[in-house]
Amino acid sequence: MDETLLEFTLFGQGVVITPWKIFGMIGVALFTGRWLFQMYYSRKAGRPVTPRIFWLMSVAGSLILLSYFIFSPKRDMVGIMSNLFPSIIALYNLYLDLTHEKKVMAQEAAKAATPPPRPEVRVETSISSRIAAASD
- Model confidence over 33-43: pLDDT tens digits? 999 999 999 99
* Chain Cα centroid distance, residue 10: 37
d(CA 24, CA 123): 76
3-state class of 116 per DSSP?
coil
Count CB-CB contacts under 10 A for residue 64: 21
- Model confidence over 91-123: pLDDT tens digits? 999 999 999 888 888 888 888 887 777 777 666
| Whole-Å CA distances, 104 to 35, 107, 109 | 26, 5, 9
pLDDT value of position 41 = 93
Helix (H) or strand (E) holding 38: helix 19-45
